[in-house]
Structure 1
């Protein structure tokens, strides 16, 4: 039996949810997401960047987010994040802001700006709460009145989802369990009341058996792993550099204090590990 590809891989995710032939799959997923957040379902969406064969899994220019627009002009961005790239709050607001501001053409007024919704599906825990689905808006702190409804950010954290939380009525939970890699033996239960979820499962099975799709998937996995390793390496290097700089600063302060006490240079060298030249440079002019 062919091993299934991981639907959390953003290349595979976009093939399942971001292609024209599976636009109904995306619409069903979005509606479950919005209904769970207490919002009305959508009736229609337009894909702004559908998956094409030109989407190379190792090309930095390829966009594996899904961009869509509703019949009313609302813009929706869906991103699957397999690994933590850190600074998620600022990263989210930065890309949300670009999407929002790029709507305006020369000569248009601010009134032309439409609501932008960002949906981040995370394969890691991020927020300090137990909710797997958190939704943010721009509201006043005390009265909770909205300033404007144009900003809406969802964080869906897959690790916070109980693997046993199968809903017999269907709903967002079953879609997320599918994305999380629920055992295939449970697929029938997950898709019992979800015909479009069944279509997503069939698409994943097809991709998993396609040699070219598997090759591109593995290339994307390698790219994502390498990118994460570089980020982790940079963080570790930065921490090490910070520690070294902190130790040097501490030695410098000790040396300055010892100089002010008129102590011998050689004694200061032994006490701090600084060179004579470094200590002489610390003497007041």
Structure 2
């Protein structure tokens, strides 16, 4: 999409083609490097609702690395941002384009790993700092209307009794945000609108006039877009994600087609209408299984297969073992 807002004096020049900030590689470059650290701090304060003396003042980005083509082309690589705040909290931020069937267990597992690393041998449990997982999802996931959901450890019946605030998980569902009323005075609203690739020139100009951090983020986005290597890796990542979606669809269609065909043939052999109907039903089941088998042969993960087929992870693992 091409955005060409009017450029006022003192405003950053906008790129002819605005790249998609939700591309997880570009998101990592925007917020997960030292040059974008102040943008990350602003985003974190917006998500966590921190203001005044509670604001995060500084972060240390953990594991910042240069991402080459050998990583970007891997459709399975996870490009999250791990950091530690000036208050000692550990935060993991993930821009999630792809859909995982058990996202809540996945993010809980990541948080548990962070918690293990948050305390060292010989330290008191009282020294355990907060672990926060932030998942920005470019799809719907939770059975809730609101776009931003936060989870803590509460007692089952006494919902106001918080066991500990040491664990905090956030899920932000972008499609739900796009349906909600927009409030320019809400910092999180401003950041989520900035992340939309199809933000209009007028909307973008308004964001930059209200929020200096958004203006700097757009300026950094343009700088990254003008870098030939960055743009090439961005396009590689886009292609890898597109290829994955295409392979999922092809494997599903091929497996279902073969399974249904076999089911119909079996029903015709039985020679009765009921047999044909039963054969089709059995064929659909076979199609799901054939899809899983083909995806295993192509190297897809169990999560990928569960996402495409709806099949239970244990069943997928059983098929993997049976293939040797």
TM-score range, shorter chain: 0.7 to 0.9
Query: Which TM-score applies when normalising by structure 2?
Result: 0.67
Deviation at 1:238, TM superposition (A): 8.1
Note if contact 1:20-1:47 (Cα within 8 Å) is conserved in structure 2. Answer: yes
Instruction: Map Cα deviations across residues 140-182 of structure 1 (whole Å, 9 max, x no partner).
Output: 1221211111111111111112378443425110110110221
TM-superposed CA distance for 1:236, in Å, is: 6.6
Partner in structure 1 of residue 44 of structure 2: 30
Aligned to 1:179: 195
- Answer yes or no: is 1:45 the counterpart of 2:59: yes
* Counterpart secondary structure, 2:132: strand
Evaluate the alpha carbon distance shift between residue 36 and residue 45 of structure 1 in structure 2; reply closer, same or farther with a 3 A threshold.
closer
Counterpart of 1:146 (choices 157, 162, 170) is: 162
How many residues are paired up? Answer: 254
Preserved CA contact (<8 Å) 2:137 2:172: yes
Task: Give the alignment of 1:1-285 within 5 angstroms.
Answer: 2-35=16-49, 40-50=54-64, 52-54=66-68, 56-59=71-74, 63-108=78-123, 110-144=125-159, 145-162=161-178, 165-181=181-197, 182-231=199-248
CA–CA separation in structure 1 for the residues paired with 2:105 and 2:261: 28
Q: Can you list the C-alpha shifts for 1:206-241, whole angstroms capped at 9, x where unaligned? A: 222222211100101112223344455666788889
Cα 1:146–1:84, aligned 2, differ >3 Å: closer, same or farther? same
The separation in 2 between residues aligned to 1:33 and 1:176, in whole angstroms, is: 10
Are the counterparts in 1 of residues 75 and 244 from structure 2 also a CA contact under 8 Å?
no
Native 8 Å contact 1:14 1:66 kept in 2? yes
Whether the 8 Å contact between 2:134 and 2:169 is mirrored in structure 1 is yes
TM-score by length of 1: 0.76
- Whether the 8 Å contact between 1:124 and 1:157 is mirrored in structure 2 is yes
Q: CA RMSD in A?
A: 3.4
Unaligned runs of 5+ in 1: 252-267, 274-285
Q: Give the direction of change, closer, same or farther, for the CA distance of 1:199–1:91 in structure 2 (3 Å limit).
A: same
